[in-house]
Structure 1
């Protein structure tokens, strides 16, 4: 199966998954990319430090509005990458019919760690998280079947 649509999931959809969405969009223009949060308050803006950090990477979150994870988003996606193992397990339990396409972003990039949540942290915390996300995105072998 050729991957065309990737859904990135975190908790609130204001920090990690929107940053990952923006960074992936800059790297892989052939993909449709969306993000969502398991506990998102729909319509919330991206965190100001997240907007600053992705701008430093040539992307933008200025138009981002948080979206809660739904069954229809899972159905839309070819792959679902979460920021933590716990998130992946919870989604698999809630939506077992989508289990085969859910994993962590870290696993997709050959890592075994959760992506650090920078919420409440300073700008450097957001930069470290963006660096962690970028490192994982760069390790993904886009030419092979994901």
Structure 2
């Protein structure tokens, strides 16, 4: 059984919506998947956003639970970690570099453009090189810096819009983005 962890900032909007929707969609397809969610910048016990609850109820998706702070236990538990943004992914990997082979943004994981996936791999390698050089008091070469900028400009955004503090329409838009990606995720899991 696949164990999937969704990660966002506060674990009160996007990742709980993804968790609840995937649980329902997987059940409808007869797939056994364990799902959890957590936040990179939260505390345990905050309620799920009222707008997120309303959007899920509108989709007949049951939701319960409270926020959970991301910890090593959740990272170890997960077979696959899907973040809502590239920033969440970077935050997670700075804290848990051992999760690099199983951590993606949700949109990145379900994307199918090989060229974009290759560009992302190269960009991540450049970021790793940059962090290593910074730790040693060095800089990227001008060629590396130019390539990093080129890749950042070329790669499409893999971020799910953050509805926090916004209108119910913003939550609906975010939920629609998540649902579209989750349907692709289930298709991909069924093929593998």
What TM-score do the two structures reach when normalised by structure 1?
Answer: 0.92
Distance in structure 1 (CA, Å) of the matches to 2:76 and 2:86: 20
Distance in structure 1 (CA, Å) of the matches to 2:166 and 2:97: 34
Distance in structure 2 (CA, Å) of the matches to 1:26 and 1:108: 20
Q: 2:100 matched to 1:99?
A: yes
Please state how far the C-alpha of 1:113 moved relative to its aligned partner.
2.2
Aligned match of 2:48:
46
Asked if 2 retains the 8 angstrom alpha-carbon contact of 1:10 and 1:37, the reply is yes
Aligned match of 1:25:
23
Aligned match of 1:37:
39
Distance in structure 2 (CA, Å) of the matches to 1:28 and 1:6: 12
Asked if 2 retains the 8 angstrom alpha-carbon contact of 1:14 and 1:45, the reply is yes
Q: 2:129 matched to 1:127?
A: no
Which 10-residue stretch deviates more, 48-57 or 134-143?
134-143
Aligned match of 1:60:
62
Q: Which has the higher helix share?
A: 2
Root mean square deviation, CA, Å: 1.3
Which runs of 5 or more residues in structure 2 are unaligned? 113-156
- Structure 1 stretches of at least 4 aligned residues deviating more than 2 Å after TM superposition: none
Computing the radius of gyration over CA atoms, which structure comes out larger, 1 or 2? 2
Asked if 1 retains the 8 angstrom alpha-carbon contact of 2:40 and 2:91, the reply is no
Please state how far the C-alpha of 1:41 moved relative to its aligned partner.
2.2
Distance in structure 2 (CA, Å) of the matches to 1:24 and 1:39: 22
Distance in structure 2 (CA, Å) of the matches to 1:72 and 1:101: 15
- Number of positions where the alignment pairs a residue of Structure 1 with one of Structure 2: 142
Asked if 2 retains the 8 angstrom alpha-carbon contact of 1:15 and 1:119, the reply is yes
Distance in structure 1 (CA, Å) of the matches to 2:162 and 2:12: 11
Aligned match of 2:138:
none
- 1:29-87 per-residue CA deviation (whole Å, 9 max, x = no partner) reads 310000000111210110000001011122122x2210000000000000000000111
